[in-house]
């Protein structure tokens, strides 16, 4: 199947180009400005489609549609169990179109098709999971004194905005919108301008269900236009944002003007801590997986490797051998590593590695561009290990967002802990040891939102709360904990 031949209900053809419209109030509409932007396949530079370029005017229309739908008697009286049934229906539709969605995700992001299929299945699982809890959002009764019944209820917060990044577009859209709809909210999604295709296709599938018009809206466009307008709108009741620290700070600052709560997931510089008593074969396999998934363009990538000194050389050789066996190429060919999303991001990776070399880092393997015959426009980067890096150097502190891991050594548990916490981020950490006491001691002291012992889930499963400490952000997505983002607590006291 050619990527650009996928049919959308929201598409029109102008000449030989496919133009995709946005989804507002149950209708497929052009932007108010009638302008568009382009999305390209990062593997070969092929134009995939032109997309409606949303702006403040389009955001206003989306908020009006969401507000009308949320306040409607139809939605206010919609039984929670029926919300759950709708979410189950969406999950079924995602699985029915799994291959089509996977190919779109690979075309738009460049990731290997196997990883795209896993992302599509994860998206379906989010709708499954939150379908099951839609009618199980409970309040409490609180003992006060005789003659007073005091209880709490959790109510939907209202209109929720979801600003989705380009690295896992369908999965991250699903994880927050499913929780928001399950709890009775109306949602507006702003997908990344680099990767809007699966968000629009997902809207088409949802349009085929009984979800009332206006409960889901998609506004496509640039962050500085549509994204900013969405965050600033006074009727938006909550903002969920995944992206960079700089943009997250801007989102939080704008939202604060309306006292709008935010959930921020802002990336990481996550360590894998390798002790000499670990299963080195298994640890090396997962260390490599944790840095090459989606070409390292993953917030929870295991980008720092802390190795006990007496096994450092042996362990580095293990992961070097594994990395040098990996294939690099277009995602549709199911290579192990696909392209970097854009020339801009590729250049940033290359500049950070080059600067590290100038500061004395040794490249164990990788550190160069890969030219792929037939995909010369693609930005492919060989998986890279850097050694002899100081823990405070830029490459050891900055989120590279590419298949680059920096290696360090430690002598004992306390030094491992010091190195692990030597970061402004605190998203994920992996601990590899057969000493379960040592593992739990470290897990209790590492400042990170998710700790994996003898495994590395790169963000974990659907049920596991996910979020960070420090500059990795705040709030939690996934699992039951995410329901707190999209509900507000009301206390009622009745005297009798």
63/169 same-domain check: yes
Strand order in the sheet with 27-29: 27-29, 22-24, 216-218, 186-190, 159-163, 238-242, 262-265, 473-474
Are 165 and 152 part of one and the same domain? Answer: yes
Same domain for 398 and 254, yes or no, is no
Classify residue 445: in a domain, yes or no.
Answer: yes
Residues 140 and 231 in one domain: yes
Say if residue 460's pLDDT is above 70: no
399 tagged catalytic: no
Q: How far is CA 34 from CA 50, 112, 133, 188, 199, in A?
A: 12, 34, 41, 20, 20
Phi-psi region of 426 (alpha: psi -120 to 50; beta: other; left: phi over 0): beta
159 within 8 A of 237, measured Cβ to Cβ: yes
| pLDDT at residue 9, as a whole number | 72
Query: Tens of pLDDT along 9-56?
Result: 766 554 457 789 999 999 999 999 999 999 999 999 999 999 999 999
**Residues 170-198: what's their mean pLDDT?**
98
**Residue 400 in this model has a pLDDT that exceeds 60:** yes
Task: Return the bridge partners of 23, or none.
Answer: 28, 218
**pLDDT tens figures, 401-452:** 999 999 999 999 999 999 999 999 999 999 999 999 999 999 999 999 999 9
Residue 250 reports pLDDT greater than 50: yes
* 458 against 343, higher pLDDT: 343
467 lies in a domain?
Answer: no
Is the model's pLDDT at 82 over the cut of 90? yes
Share of the chain above pLDDT 70, in %: 96
Catalytic residue selected from 265, 308, 399, 477: 265
Looking up residue 147, the CATH number of its domain turns out to be 3.40.605.10
Q: What pLDDT is recorded for position 76?
A: 97
* 249 and 291 inside one domain: no
Average pLDDT over residues 209-224: 98
Q: Which long-range contacts (CB under 8 A, 24 or more apart) does 15-21 make?
A: 17/47, 17/49, 17/50, 18/48, 18/49, 18/50, 19/49, 19/50, 19/51, 19/52, 20/49, 20/50, 20/51, 20/52, 20/196, 20/197, 20/200, 20/220, 21/52
Q: Which domain holds residue 12?
A: 3-266+475-491
Do 484 and 442 fall within a single domain? no
Asked whether residue 161 falls in the same domain as residue 197, the answer is yes
pLDDT at 221 over 70: yes
Number of domains into which the chain is organized: 2
Confidence (pLDDT) at 14? 47
């Amino acid at each position: 199947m050619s990527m650009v031949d996928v049919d959308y209900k929201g598409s029109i053809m102008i000449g030989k180009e496919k133009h995709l419209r946005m989804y507002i109030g149950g209708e497929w509409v052009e932007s108010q400005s009638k302008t568009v932007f382009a999305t390209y396949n990062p593997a070969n530079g092929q134009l995939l489609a032109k997309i409606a370029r949303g702006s403040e005017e389009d955001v206003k229309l989306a908020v009006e549609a969401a507000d009308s739908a949320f306040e409607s008697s139809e939605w206010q009286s919609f039984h929670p169990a029926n919300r759950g049934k709708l979410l189950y229906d969406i999950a079924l539709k995602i699985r029915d179109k799994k291959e089509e969605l996977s190919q779109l995700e690979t075309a738009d992001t460049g990731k290997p098709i196997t990883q795209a299929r896993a992302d599509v299945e994860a998206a379906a699982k989010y709708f499954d999971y939150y379908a099951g809890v839609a009618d199980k959002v409970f309040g409490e009764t609180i003992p006060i004194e005789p003659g007073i019944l005091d209880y709490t209820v959790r109510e939907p917060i209202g209109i929720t905005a979801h600003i989705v990044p380009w690295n896992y577009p369908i999965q991250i859209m699903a994880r927050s919108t499913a929780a928001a709809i399950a709890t009775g909210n109306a949602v507006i999604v702003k997908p990344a301008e680099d990767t809007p295709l699966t968000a629009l296709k997902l809207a088409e599938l949802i349009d085929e269900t009984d979800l009332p018009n206006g409960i889901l809206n998609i506004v496509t466009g640039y962050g500085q236009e549509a994204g900013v307008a969405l965050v600033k709108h006074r009727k938006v009741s909550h903002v969920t944002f995944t992206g960079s620290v700089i943009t997250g700070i801007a989102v939080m600052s704008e939202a604060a003007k309306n006292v709008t709560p935010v959930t921020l997931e802002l990336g990481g510089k996550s360590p894998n801590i390798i002790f000499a008593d670990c299963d080195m074969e298994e640890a090396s396999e997962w260390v490599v997986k944790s840095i090459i998934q989606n070409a390292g363009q993953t917030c929870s990538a295991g980008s720092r490797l802390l190795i006990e000194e007496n096994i450092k050389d042996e362990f580095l050789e293990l992961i070097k051998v594994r990395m040098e066996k990996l294939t690099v190429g277009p995602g549709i060919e199911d290579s192990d590593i696909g392209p970097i999303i854009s020339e801009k991001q590729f250049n940033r990776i290359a500049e950070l590695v080059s600067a590290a070399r100038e500061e004395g880092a040794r490249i164990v393997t990788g550190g160069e561009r890969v030219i792929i015959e037939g995909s010369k426009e693609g930005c492919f980067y060989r998986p890279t290990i850097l050694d002899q890096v100081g823990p405070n150097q830029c490459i050891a502190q900055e989120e590279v967002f590419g298949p680059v891991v920096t290696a360090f050594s430690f002598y004992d548990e306390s030094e491992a802990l010091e190195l692990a916490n030597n970061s402004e981020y605190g998203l994920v950490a992996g601990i590899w040891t057969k000493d379960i006491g040592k593992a739990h001691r470290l897990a209790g002291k590492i400042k990170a939102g998710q700790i994996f012992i003898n495994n590395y889930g790169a963000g974990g499963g659907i049920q596991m709360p996910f979020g960070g400490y420090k500059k990795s952000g705040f709030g939690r997505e996934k699992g039951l904990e995410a329901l707190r983002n999209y509900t507000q607590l009301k206390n009622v006291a009745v005297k009798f």
